[in-house]
Amino acid sequence: MKMTSRKLLIINPNSSKSMTEGLDPLLIDMNRQGSTSTEIHTYTAPSGPPSINNEDDARETAGIVIKDIESQLSQYDAFLVACYSVHPLVGILRAKVAPHVHVTGIFEASISTSLSLLPMESEKKRSKFGIVSTGTYWEKALSDGVKDFLQVDDFKNCRRFKGVETTGLNASELHTAPPELVRRKMMEATKRLVKDRDVKIICLGCAGMAGLDSIVREALTEELGNDGRQVHILDGVKAGVALLEGLLRALPPQE
């Protein structure tokens, strides 16, 4: 029986078209590896901030996007919000689409995937996931988001989450700042995160970090030597596409 092709919309809620275009090599690579079977479309907000640097930016972009695409929601079977934050657009979309139309953000998808990769035995040497993100604002914001996601009051008794290290660069600067500066900042943040040798997964905490995993891998090799090969580098967009495709198979849209 021929299966109906499902449509997934990746939403970049900021107005930077170059950031959306930066996802193309990643999606092409996923298709080349045969790791995606859906029809994937991308979208860039028509206006608003070119980089989401705080919660006010996130709220503004959520309003802009939903106003622009609300009439098109029925065309898609799944939505991925490509902003690494607790972005309000995720909840807004979920409230507006049918129950079997799936919605997630790259933040939520990366945490879910990380948890599935961690060993059950907490005494294992590498038992934590951590996040490398952009501006220092996100250190607390993303840590609070992980608390809410895991439903814990603090991290004293949480043996799964290492924390957040940031580069000090915003999302747009990842591709406009001098490459050597970006490389140095990414490597420094990565080394801080893994220095205790208890991290199993590094989440790339910005959609604009697509394609920068080679820098993270270089930092792992410098800091950990051969042990760095044991650490997974997780891109949130890849994790989000994979999670949504799995949901579309397990809980397909109702015809």
If one compares 87 and 172, the residue with the highest pLDDT of the two is 87
- The mean predicted confidence, pLDDT, of the chain is 93
pLDDT of amino acid 111: 98
Give tens-digit pLDDT for 178-192.
Answer: 999 999 999 999 999
Give tens-digit pLDDT for 7-59.
Answer: 999 999 999 999 999 999 888 888 777 766 789 999 999 999 999 999 999 99
Q: How confident is the model at residue 67 (pLDDT cuts 50, 70, 90)?
A: very high
Question: Partners of 131 in the beta sheet?
Answer: 164, 203
pLDDT of amino acid 1: 38
pLDDT of amino acid 37: 73
pLDDT of amino acid 32: 78
Q: Is the pLDDT of residue 123 over 80?
A: no
Q: Is the pLDDT of residue 3 over 80?
A: no
Q: How confident is the model at residue 95 (pLDDT cuts 50, 70, 90)?
A: very high
Question: Average of pLDDT values for 125-140?
Answer: 94
Reference 191, options 163, 220, 215; nearest CA is 220
How does DSSP assign the chain, residue by residue?
-PPPPPEEEEEE-SS-HHHHHTTHHHHHHHHHTT---SEEEEEE-SSS-SS--SHHHHHHHHHHHHHHHGGGGGG-SEEEE--SS--HHHHHHHHHS-TTSEEEEHHHHHHHHHHHHS-S-TTSSS-EEEEEESSTHHHHHHHHHHHHHHT-S-STT-SSEEEEEE-S--TTHHHHS-HHHHHHHHHHHHHHHHTTS-EEEEEE-SGGGTT-HHHHHHHHHHHHGGGGGGSEEEEHHHHHHHHHHHHHHHSPPP-
Do 169 and 136 meet the contact criterion of CB atoms below 8 Å apart? no
Question: Average of pLDDT values for 247-255?
Answer: 86
pLDDT of amino acid 35: 66
Instruction: Provide the whole-model pTM.
Output: 0.94
Give tens-digit pLDDT for 133-171.
Answer: 999 999 999 999 999 999 988 887 778 999 999 999 998
CA angle (144 as vertex; 141, 145 as ends), nearest 5: 85
Q: Is the pLDDT of residue 2 over 60?
A: no
pLDDT of amino acid 4: 65
Q: Which domains does the chain have, with CATH numbers?
A: 7-105+237-250 (3.40.50.12500), 108-236 (3.40.50.1860)
